Structures are given as C-alpha cells and as structure tokens.
C-alpha cells in the first residue's frame, strides 16, 4: 500500500470508471477506511456514507455537464455536515482523508462539488433539511480509457498543472508581534521552508475546485516566539455564491489542511490546526486557520 506522500504525488481525479461494482473485499475495506479518518480541527459533525450508484444518480451527475461529467462509478462516498462557522473547512478535511485512504487502497476517486442533485442524495440518506451535502466522491475502478468529455474537462481546468511555490507560499518577518512585517513578505523557497517542505509540497499538489488552487500559506516568523503558519484563501470571483450555503474554496482549504496534517503525521511532525487570526493580514485573502507546532 502506498504511503500518503506517494498517494498525494500520483493521485489524479478519475471521471471514467469501468462500471463494475466494488468487489466484496474492496467494499468492506472502503467501509472500514471511512471510519479511520481523524476528526476535523474545528469539531464540526461531518458524516460520510457509502452508497451504490443507481442509474438515477448517474444520470443526475452526467446530465449536469459540463463540469462534473462522471461515467459509470461503482459507488459514491456522500459527505454531509451540519451548517456551522467552520463546517466547510472541516468537511474538506474529513472527505479528503477518505479520498487519500481509498486511493491508497487502489480505488479511484473524483471530488464532485459542482452541479449534482443534492436533494436526491439527501433523500437516499434520509438527511434532515438543515444538513448540507457540499460534495460527493464517486469511486470505482478506472475504465481502460478516459472518455472524451473527461479529457476536455481536464484540459479546460489545466488539471495537471500546479502553481509554483513562489505563487503559494510566503514568509513575513516580524519584530516581536504580528502587527506589521519588517519588510514586504517574500516567497518561501522549499529550502527555506526546511521542516515544512514536505507538508507544503503536499498542499501544492492537492486537488481543488476547477483546479484554482486558492490556498496561500504565510510563515510568520518573529525575533522571539515560535513561527506560525497561517492559511488563507485567495478567492476566485463568484465561487462563494455559486451554491447556496456551500463555499467550495473553504472546502479546498480543508482539503489542503488534510494534506498538511497527514504528511506531518507520517513524518512525525507534531502540530495541529487552530484559529489564531494574525493582526497583520496579507492583501486580498481570507483567513482560514493556523498551524501551530505542539
Ligand atoms: C472541493 C472540490 C470540488 C470539485 N468539484 C468538481 C466537480 O464538480 N466536477 C469535476 O469534474 N471535478 C471536480 N473537482 C476535481 C478538480 O477539478 C480536480 O481536483 C482538479 O482539476 C485537479 O485535477 P486532479 O484532481 O486530477 O489533480 C473538485 C475538486 C475539489 C477539491
């Protein structure tokens, strides 16, 4: 079985499945893997259920083109969460861990947060109306060839591409508090990131809605006191309004937090995500969370 860093560097969204149901062993394995995810940082009640893909569900996701054309998945991991202040980040954090576990087991996945019939899935699970289904993850065995529509989605969102380190990660130096940096923040290089390099690289490779990669991480270092890693999102216009009560780029932030945490765990780097909004904020970004070393 691949470790988390291997999964993160080789995983690709799969939208063309072969239509075979999961084997009994694989279905049992996925059911058990869904129970092995760590709790989200802000404690939102996130749930997941594995449901078989019915013809109606497949028709629902396939007809809501163009973004979201998925062919012949075996099952769906349906994630759900109660509305709340941090529910989007927590949701992304939990569901992405499930994605990484399932991929490590050799089963393919694709996040689907765009247009799908939320009501249909809520009815199958019998969820109350105040529970959100921000995204689902179709899973299964990949088809031998990608469909043409999958090829065009991957092309249109530039799915293989990732931003460079210098566009995502920064360093801001402070005297003793975080009121005002000593000088303008500068790009954080992998070498300068030192202990954080593997975790930041895992963030950089994360999947995100339309591959917008909205995450920005600033390391705040002070002359005294520990470094702080603050996570922000740089918004794509209109994305927060597209689906009622769902903020896809906050989910993307939660996905990035999961990548950071699983790699930190894997290499034995102790810390956790919490809320510690700095006084000084970089321009044009929303604050999400801060990584604090334990
Ligand atoms: C929160 C989230 C929502 C997504 N929603 C969709 C979607 O609705 N339809 C789709 O085809 N892909 C969706 N994706 C997959 C992204 O398009 C994909 O991760 C990105 O293009 C990078 O490609 P890769 O996953 O192959 O590395 C979503 C990804 C994330 C993290």
Cα Rg, the chain, nearest whole Å: 19
What does pTM read for this prediction?
0.96
Tell me the pLDDT band of 240, cut-offs 50, 70 and 90.
Answer: confident
Position in ligand 1 atom list of the atom nearest CA 114 = 8
Provide the pLDDT confidence category of residue 53 given band limits of 50, 70 and 90. confident
The model's confidence at residue 62, banded by pLDDT at 50, 70 and 90, is low
Query: Band of the pLDDT at 239, cuts 50, 70, 90?
Result: confident
Ligand 1 center to residue 112 CA distance, Å?
6
- The residue whose CA is least distant from atom 27 of ligand 1 is 12
Asked if residue 11 and residue 122 are part of one domain, the reply reads yes
190 and 93 housed in the same domain = no
Write out pLDDT tens, residues 248-292. Answer: 999 999 999 999 999 999 999 999 999 999 999 999 999 999 999
Pocket-testing residue among 78, 88, 110, 249, ligand 1, by greatest number of atoms within 8 A of Cβ: 110
Q: Are residues 130 and 243 in the same domain?
A: no
In a domain, 29, yes or no: yes
CB neighbourhood size of 151 (10 A): 14
Q: Which atom of ligand 1 is nearest to the CA of 205?
A: 27
Is residue 251 in contact with ligand 1, taking CB distance under 6 Å? Answer: yes
Residue 17 reports pLDDT greater than 70 = yes
Residues 188 and 121 reside in one and the same domain? no
Whether the pLDDT of residue 149 is over 90: the answer is: no
The total of structural domains in the chain comes to 2
Q: Is omega for the bond preceding 66 within 30 degrees of 0, making it cis?
A: yes
pLDDT of 183 > 80? The answer is: yes
Secondary structure element (H or E) that encloses residue 219, with its range: strand 215-222
Gap from CA of 209 to ligand 1 centroid (Å): 5
Same domain, 119 and 137: yes
CATH code assigned at 225: 3.40.109.10
The answer to whether 58 and 19 have CB atoms below 8 angstroms apart is no
CA count, 13 A, side-chain hemisphere, 146: 14
Ligand 1 centroid distance, CA of 176 (Å): 40
Q: Which domain holds residue 263?
A: 165-293
Q: Are residues 45 and 177 in the same domain?
A: no
- Mean pLDDT, residues 67-89: 91
* DSSP bridge pairs for 201: none
Residue 33 predicted with pLDDT over 90: yes
The C-alpha angle 110, 59, 25, rounded to 5 degrees, equals 50
User: How much distance in Å is there from the Cα of 276 to the middle of ligand 1?
Assistant: 29
Tell me how far the alpha carbon of residue 10 lies from the centroid of ligand 1, in angstroms. Answer: 15
Is any ligand 1 atom within 6 A of the Cβ of residue 208? yes
User: Which residues, 6 or more positions from 24, have their beta carbon under 8 angstroms from its beta carbon?
Assistant: none
CA distance 170 to 154: 28
Per-residue confidence (pLDDT) for residue 19, from 0 to 100: 92
- For the cut 90, the answer to whether the pLDDT of residue 27 exceeds it is yes
CA–CA dist 16, 150 (Å, integer): 7
Q: How many residues does the chain have?
A: 294
Residue with tokens 């945490």: 261
C-alpha–C-alpha distance, residues 281 and 263, integer Å: 27
Domain finish residue from 123, 155, 187: 155
Asked if residue 91 is part of any domain, the answer here is: yes
Average pLDDT over residues 64-69: 62
Mean pLDDT of 199-207: 98
Structure-token pair, residue 289: 């969370």
Q: How far apart are CA 41 and CA 291, in angstroms?
A: 10
Would residue 160 count as lying in a domain? Answer: no
CB 290 within 8 A of CB 276: yes
Q: What is the dihedral of CA 88, 89, 92, 96, to 10 degrees?
A: -170
Q: Does the pLDDT value for residue 65 go beyond 60?
A: no
Residue 213, domain member (yes or no) = yes
- Give 216-225 pLDDT, tens digit per residue: 999 999 888 8
Q: How confident is the model at residue 67 (pLDDT cuts 50, 70, 90)?
A: low
Q: Tell which one of 153, 209, 251, 259 to mutate to probe ligand 1, the residue whose CB is within 8 A of the most ligand atoms.
A: 209
| Share of residues in the chain with pLDDT > 90 (%) | 76
225: region left, alpha or beta (phi > 0 left; psi from -120 to 50 alpha): left
**Burial status of residue 195 (CB atoms within 10 A of its CB: 0-12, 13-18, 19 or more):** exposed
- What tokens does 29 get? 């394995």
Do 103 and 14 fall within a single domain?
yes
What is the pLDDT of the chain when averaged over all its residues? Answer: 92
- Tell me: do 64 and 150 sit in the same domain: yes
pLDDT of residue 63: 60
53-67, 178-192, 231-245 — most confident range: 178-192
Nearest CA to ligand 1 atom 17: 210
- Average pLDDT score over residue span 35-61: 89
Q: Is residue 94 part of a domain?
A: yes
Residues 103 and 209 in one domain: no
Q: Out of 107, 125, 155, pick the residue that ends a domain.
A: 155
Statement: residue 68 has pLDDT above 70:
no
CA 168 / ligand 1 centre spacing (Å):
19
Tokens linked to 176: 């003793």
The answer to whether residues 11 and 140 belong to one domain is: yes
Q: Does residue 145 surpass a pLDDT of 60?
A: yes
Separation CA 30–CA 27 (nearest Å)? 5
């Amino acid at each position: 079985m691949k470790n988390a860093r291997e999964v993160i560097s080789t995983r690709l969204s799969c939208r063309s499945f072969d239509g075979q149901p999961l084997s009994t062993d694989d279905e049992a394995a996925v059911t058990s893997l869904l129970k092995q995810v760590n709790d989200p940082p802000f404690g939102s009640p996130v749930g997941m259920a594995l449901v078989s893909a019915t013809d109606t569900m497949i028709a629902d996701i396939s007809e809501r083109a163009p973004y979201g054309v998925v062919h012949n998945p075996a099952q769906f991991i349906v994630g759900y969460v109660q509305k709340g202040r941090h529910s989007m980040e927590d949701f992304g954090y939990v569901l992405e861990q499930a994605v990484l576990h399932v991929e490590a087991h050799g089963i393919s996945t694709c996040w689907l947060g765009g247009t799908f019939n939320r009501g249909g899935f809520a009815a199958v699970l019998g969820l109350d109306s105040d529970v959100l289904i921000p995204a689902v993850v179709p899973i299964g065995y990949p088809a031998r060839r990608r469909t043409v529509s999958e090829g065009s989605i991957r092309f249109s969102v530039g799915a293989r591409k990732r931003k460079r380190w210098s566009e995502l990660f920064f360093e801001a130096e402070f005297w003793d508090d975080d009121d005002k940096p000593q000088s303008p923040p500068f790009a954080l290089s992998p070498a300068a990131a030192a202990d954080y390099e593997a975790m930041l690289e895992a963030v950089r490779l994360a999947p995100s809605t339309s591959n917008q990669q909205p995450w920005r991480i600033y390391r705040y270092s002070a002359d005294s006191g520990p470094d702080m890693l603050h996570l922000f999102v740089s918004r794509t216009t209109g994305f927060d309004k597209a689906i009622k009560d769902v903020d896809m780029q906050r989910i993307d932030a939660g996905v990035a937090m999961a990548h950071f945490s699983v790699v930190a765990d894997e290499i034995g780097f102790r810390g956790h995500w919490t809320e510690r909004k700095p006084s000084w904020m970089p321009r044009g970004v929303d604050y999400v969370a801060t990584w604090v070393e334990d």
